Amino acid sequence: MKLEIDIPSRIPVMTLSEVTFFPKVMMPLFIFEPRYRRMLETSLKEHRMFAVAGLDKSKIEFAVESEPAHKIATLGMIRGCKTQEDGTSQLILHGLARIQLDTIYDEKPYREAEITPLESTQNIEQNELLKKQSQLLTLVKEKATSNEQFPIDLLNFMERLEDPENFVDLVAYSMINDSELKQSVLNTLVVEDRFDLLIKAFSDYRSN
């Protein structure tokens, strides 16, 4: 997936624990920390973009910087924002693309990073990829029907998705609770390999 808009080489970064953001996803965020209020204010005045990175727990004990971030994150664009009288904000962040955090800077109240956009690759024919999509959709339906709380509208939307890459990323974002698995899917640039990760995860869930 090629990025259709120009982005700065240096972008603000929000690091969140137990959160993995994906391209094409619309994610609601509540901004309340002073540093992120400053970040949001700057982003709204400039390019309306910032990155969301997961907290890399494996590096916390030995990290020099606070809140060590996973190197692969997602760039997002603010699609809507409402700021309250107390200075907090509710916003919708639209995932644009996978990115690599090259160098992180702590010069401001919030962190910034030099980034490199990452493109997905596909090493099999489209019809083979669509077969994987059909297989994963069957597993998704099985899990969804066993959960009365699962949103039917989301399942219907998944059924209509024609782009395999968008489909597999949405499944990872909305149906996987394991943060390490979600990050693994985000880290994986080969689309069919993302399907294999999730097909195995859902198959293991069914067998249990």
For residue 151, the model assigns a pLDDT of: 86
Q: Return the amino acid letter for 20.
A: T
Q: What is the mean pLDDT of the chain?
A: 92
Give residue 57's pLDDT: 86
Report domain extents, the chain.
10-117, 126-207
Residue 204 confidence (pLDDT): 84
**Does the structure show a pLDDT above 70 at 63?**
no
> Do 39 and 14 contact (CB within 8 A), yes or no?
yes
**Model pLDDT, residue 115:** 97
CATH 1.10.10.10 fits 10-117, yes or no: no
> pLDDT exceeding 70 applies to what percent of the chain?
94
pLDDT of residue 143: 87
pLDDT number for residue 62: 61
Band (pLDDT 50/70/90 cuts) for residue 93 is very high
- What per-residue confidence (pLDDT) applies to 191? 98
Give pLDDT, residue 174.
Answer: 93
CA distance 86 to 88: 6
**Which helix (H) or strand (E) is 93 found in, with range?**
strand 89-105
Inform me whether the pLDDT recorded for 154 exceeds 70.
Answer: yes
Burial class for 58, CB neighbours closer than 10 Å (0-12, 13-18, 19+): exposed
pLDDT at 205: 76
